Structure 1
Amino acid sequence: MNFRWLKLYLPRGLYGRAAMILILPVVTLQLVVSFVFIQRHFEDVTEQMTRTVSRELVLLIDTLAQSDKGGDMAGFMRLADSLEYTVVLGERPPQEDFRRWYDFSGLVVIRTLEQLVPSVRGVELPDNRKILVYAATAQGLATFEFDRLRVSATNPHQLLVNMVFFGGLMTLIAYVYLRNQLRPITRLAAAAEAFGRGRHVAYTPGGAIEVRSAGNAFLDMRARIERQIEQRTLMLSGVSHDLRTPLTRLKLGLSLLDHDDAEPLERDVEDMQRLLDEFLSFARGAHEGEPELTDPIQFVKSAVEDAARGGTNVTLGSVEGEGTIPLRVVGIKRALENLIGNGVRYGNAVRVSVRLSDKSLRIRVEDDGPGIPAEARSEAIKPFARLDPARNQNKGTGVGLGLSIAADVARAHGGVLRLGESEEMGGLCADIVIAR
C-alpha cells in the first residue's frame, strides 16, 4: 500500500517527530488500558452487581404479590428496610428511562434490570447517589429507591484520572530528557547549515557518543576546508604578484616599439591580463570577507549605476521588498558584475531586477542575446565550459568562468543560480536565489 499521503500529516521537525514517537505509544497504551478497564469494570462489574440487585427486586415484588391489601404489608416493609430499599406505591412511571449522557455504567444498569426483572416499567438515574426503579406489582405500580453504590463501584473514575495524570507527567518528564538529547543534534545541524552558507558559528560537540563523533567529524571537515581555502588564497596571492610583474614589463617594452608593430602584441597582453584576472577571480572563490548585514535593494541599485557609468547598457528593472540580509558583499558584487558582463558580451542590453521577500532574495539578470538552450544550462555553469554554438562570439571570448563564479557565490550563501529564458527580452535569464 502507498502511504505517501501520510507524510503530509507528519511533523517535519526533529522535535515534532521525537514528540510523536514518544507520545503516540503512551496515548495508544492509555486508550487500550482504558478500553479494557471500561469493558471489565464499567460493564462486567456493574452487570454483576446489578444482577444481585435484580434478584432482590424480584424477591420484593414476589413478597408484595403474596401480601393482601392491608394484610402483611408490615412484614413486606420490614423486608424492604432490611434490604435497604425505600418503596412507594401508586406513583406513575416515567415516559422513558433517564440517565445523564456521560453515565456509561447507567446503560448497563438499565439494560440488566429490564432483562432480569420483567415487571420493570422504567428506571431513573438522576445522580450518583440513588436509583429509582418503577415496577408493576400486584399492589399496583411501585417505586423502589436504593443507593447507587449497590450497582456501581465507588469512584471508578479515579483510576482513569490517575492514569491520565501520571501518563501526562511521565510523558512531560521523558520529553524534557529527550529534548536534552536532541539539542546537540540541532546545534550540529545549525552549525553545518551556517557553514554551508559561508558563516562560521562556534560549535562544541556534546550529547551522546554518536552525536559527539559526528560533531568532531564536522569540525575536522570544516578545519580542512578552511585550511584549503587559506592555502589557495596565499598561493594565488603569490601567483598574482609573480605574473603581474612580467606582464607590466611586457607592456613597458611594447610601449617603446612602433605603434603598428606593437598594437597586436598589446592586445595579446591585454587579453592575458584579462584572462589572468578571471582565473584569479574564480580561484579566490566566494568566501572572501565575512557576511555582513546588507540592504540588497540599495546594493543592486548601486551596482547597476556603477556599471552604467562605465558605459554598459544596463538598466534597473523591478524592485520589490525592503530589509537587510547577511551577504558577502565582495562575492555578490563579483557575481553580479560577471552576469552583467556576460549579458552585454553576448547581447546588446541587460536589465537587473531584485526582489526581497520574507523567505528569499532573488537577483535577476536578463539580456537580449541568444540565450542558452535548456539542455546545455547545467553544462554552462561548470568551470571553463564553452558554449560557442549557442552564444554570440562577435564581442570577444571568455574563458567560461562567469556563470561558474556566480554559481559558486550563490552556493556560498546557501543559495542557487538558476538559468532560464527571459520572457520579455528573449535572451538568458539568470537568477541568484538566496534563502533568508
Structure 2
Amino acid sequence: MANNGDNGWLKRLVPRGIYGRAALILFLPVITVTLVVTLMFLQRHFEGVTRQMTATTAREVALVAARIAAAPDADAARAAVADIVGPLELVLTMPVPAAAQDQREFYDFSGRVVIEELRAELPDLRAVDLVGNYRDVRLTLDAPAGPYGISFDRRRVSASNPHQLLVLMVFTSLLMTGIATIFLRNQLRPIRRLARAAEEYGKGRIVPYRPAGASEVRSAGTAFVDMRNRLERSSEQRTMMLSGISHDLRTPLTRLRLSVSMLSPDMPPDAEDITAMEGDIAQMSQMVSAFLDFARDAAQDRAPESVAALPFLQAIVADAQRAGQAVTLTRAEGGESVQIVARPDTLRRALENLIGNAVRHGTRAEVEAVLGPRSLLIAVEDDGPGIPEHRLDEAIRPFTRLDPARGQNVGQGGAGLGLSIAADVARAHGGRLRLTRGNRLGGLRAEIMLPR
C-alpha cells in the first residue's frame, strides 16, 4: 500500500492515452539529450574556449600595461605604446575617469568568465565594462601617470554568434519533433481503428475494419477479425442448431405421437409398429448425438498436442475397416515419425465424419495423405453422385441436406452436420476444408489442409 501511495503522483502525471504515452517515450529522450548536449556545449564554449581566448588577449594587454607602468607621465606612456597598440588592435584612452566596478548584463554568461580571466592576468585592472558598447570590452587600469583605458573587440575574447548553434539545435529539434508527431499519428491510427472496431463489437455492432499499420498491429487486427468471424459463425451455428433440432425432431416425434395415439389396451401393437417406433427413437438418438458432437466440436476446449501424422491416420482407417466400412488408404507420403500439432479427438471425429459420409453416399472410399514440409493434406474421395459445383459452399453449412445430389433419406439418418464439423475442425487447426469433384472415383473429394 505504501508503494502505491508513493507512486500515485507519478501515475497521475503519466498520460493515460496511448498517443500521449508514445509521445512521452519518443520526445522525452530527445529533449533530455538536447539539454545535456546544450549544457555540455555551454560548459565547453563559454568557459573553456572563452577562457583561452581571454588569456591570450590579456597577455597582449599586459604587454601594453607594462610599458605604460614604466613611463613617468601620460605623454611618455602614449609614446611608449604607440608602435604596438595598432598591430595588437587595441585602443588606448588616456586619461579616463576612474571606474567604480565591473559591469555586465545578467544574461552574459561568457562575460563572467572574461572578467575572471582578465583579473587573474592583469593585477592593475580596476574595472571591466561589458555594457557600454556590447561589441567592445573596455578596461580601466591604474598607472603612475593616472588611470587609463584600453578597449578591444569583444570577438577577441568570445566566439562570434555562439547562439547560432543553439538556434540551429532548437530549430532542428522542433522540425524533427513535428515529423515524428506526424509519423507517430499515422502509426497510432490503425491501433485506434482496431480499438474502435473492438469497442463497437462489444456493443453488438459490426463496423467495417481492415487490418493495416505495422506488422504487429496488422497481426493483432487479423487476429481480431478472425476472432470476430469465429464468434459470428458460432452464433449463427448455434441459432441454426436450435432451429435444426426443432425441425429435424418434429417429424419422428409426430410419427411417435401418431403411433402412440393408435395404441389400444385391447389390441397390443404388432411387431411392425414396434419396429417403426424403435426406428424413430434410434433416429432421434442419432440426431441428438450429432447435435451434441457439433456443439462439442464448436467448443474446441482441449489443448493441441504433438501427434505422429501418418500412424494417426492409419489407425483411423483401420478402425473404419473393422467397423465394416469400405475404405482404404491408397497413398501415404511422409515419414512415419513426422509430428503435427493437433487436437487428436476432434481431428479424428472430423475424419470419421468424412469417411462415414463417403461410404454412406457411395460404395467405397479412398483416403490419401501427403505430408509436406509445411502442411498436411488429407483427402477422402468416394464414388458417389457427388455435389454440384455451385452447391459446394452450401454443403459445408450446418444442417444442410442436398438430397438430390447426395441421396440422403430418412433411413440414412443424416443430420447435415458431417461436413460442417469437419470444416470447423479444420479452421480450429488453422487449416481449411475444400470440396471438389474426385478425379479417380468420380464422386466427392473432401480435402483437409492443415499447417504443420
TM-score by length of 1: 0.52
Contact 1:184/1:207 (<8 A) preserved: yes
Contact 1:15/1:182 (<8 A) preserved: yes
The aligned residue for residue 176 of structure 2 is: 170
Give distance in 1, aligned partners of 2:111 and 2:118.
11
The aligned residue for residue 36 of structure 1 is: 40
Matches within 5 A, 1:42-61: 42-61=46-65
Give distance in 2, aligned partners of 1:224 and 1:90.
98
The aligned residue for residue 76 of structure 2 is: 71
The one of 196, 209, 212 equivalent to 1:206 is 212
Give distance in 2, aligned partners of 1:17 and 1:94.
57
Deviation at 1:3, TM superposition (A): 4.0
The aligned residue for residue 114 of structure 1 is: 119
The aligned residue for residue 400 of structure 1 is: none
Where does structure 1 lack aligned partners over 5 or more consecutive residues? Answer: 247-436
Give distance in 2, aligned partners of 1:197 and 1:134.
83
> Aligned partner of 2:79: which letter?
A
- Residues 346-382 of structure 1 show CA distances to partners (whole Å, capped at 9, x for unaligned) of xxxxxxxxxxxxxxxxxxxxxxxxxxxxxxxxxxxxx
The one of 181, 195, 220 equivalent to 2:187 is 181
Deviation at 1:94, TM superposition (A): 3.5
The aligned residue for residue 82 of structure 1 is: 87
The aligned residue for residue 10 of structure 2 is: 6
Deviates more, 1:95-104 or 1:109-118: 95-104
Structure with larger RCO (C-alpha < 8 A, sep 6+) = 1
The aligned residue for residue 151 of structure 1 is: 157
Q: 2:192 aligned with 1:217, yes or no?
A: no
Give distance in 2, aligned partners of 1:186 and 1:18.
13
Give distance in 2, aligned partners of 1:111 and 1:202.
71
Q: Secondary structure at the match of 1:202?
A: coil
Deviation at 1:241, TM superposition (A): 9.4
Deviation at 1:236, TM superposition (A): 5.1
- Residues 297-356 of structure 1 show CA distances to partners (whole Å, capped at 9, x for unaligned) of xxxxxxxxxxxxxxxxxxxxxxxxxxxxxxxxxxxxxxxxxxxxxxxxxxxxxxxxxxxx
Contact 1:134/1:144 (<8 A) preserved: yes
Change (3 A) 1:235 1:94: farther
Where does structure 2 lack aligned partners over 5 or more consecutive residues? Answer: 254-452
Deviation at 1:235, TM superposition (A): 4.9
The aligned residue for residue 231 of structure 1 is: 237
Give distance in 2, aligned partners of 1:203 and 1:93.
83
Contact 2:98/2:140 (<8 A) preserved: yes
Give distance in 2, aligned partners of 1:192 and 1:72.
90
Change (3 A) 1:71 1:101: closer
Deviation at 1:168, TM superposition (A): 2.0
Deviation at 1:54, TM superposition (A): 1.3
Give distance in 1, aligned partners of 2:77 and 2:237.
116
Contact 1:60/1:80 (<8 A) preserved: yes
Q: Secondary structure at the match of 2:211?
A: coil
Contact 2:139/2:150 (<8 A) preserved: yes
Q: 2:135 aligned with 1:129, yes or no?
A: yes
The one of 95, 108, 115 equivalent to 2:100 is 95
Matches within 5 A, 1:322-401: none
Give distance in 1, aligned partners of 2:80 and 2:118.
25
Larger radius of gyration: 2
Contact 1:125/1:132 (<8 A) preserved: yes
Give distance in 1, aligned partners of 2:247 and 2:205.
29
> Aligned partner of 1:170: which letter?
M
> Aligned partner of 1:139: which letter?
A
Deviation at 1:151, TM superposition (A): 0.2
- Give the RMSD, CA atoms, in angstroms: 2.5
Deviation at 1:167, TM superposition (A): 2.2
Deviation at 1:192, TM superposition (A): 0.7
Give distance in 2, aligned partners of 1:131 and 1:72.
21
Deviation at 1:96, TM superposition (A): 2.8
Alignment size in residue pairs = 245
> Aligned partner of 2:9: which letter?
W
Q: Secondary structure at the match of 2:147?
A: strand
TM-score by length of 2: 0.50
Deviation at 1:113, TM superposition (A): 0.9
Give distance in 1, aligned partners of 2:237 and 2:77.
116
The aligned residue for residue 367 of structure 2 is: none
Deviation at 1:230, TM superposition (A): 3.0
Contact 2:137/2:152 (<8 A) preserved: yes
Give distance in 2, aligned partners of 1:105 and 1:96.
18
Contact 1:22/1:175 (<8 A) preserved: no
Change (3 A) 1:72 1:93: closer
Contact 1:54/1:113 (<8 A) preserved: yes
Deviation at 1:132, TM superposition (A): 0.9
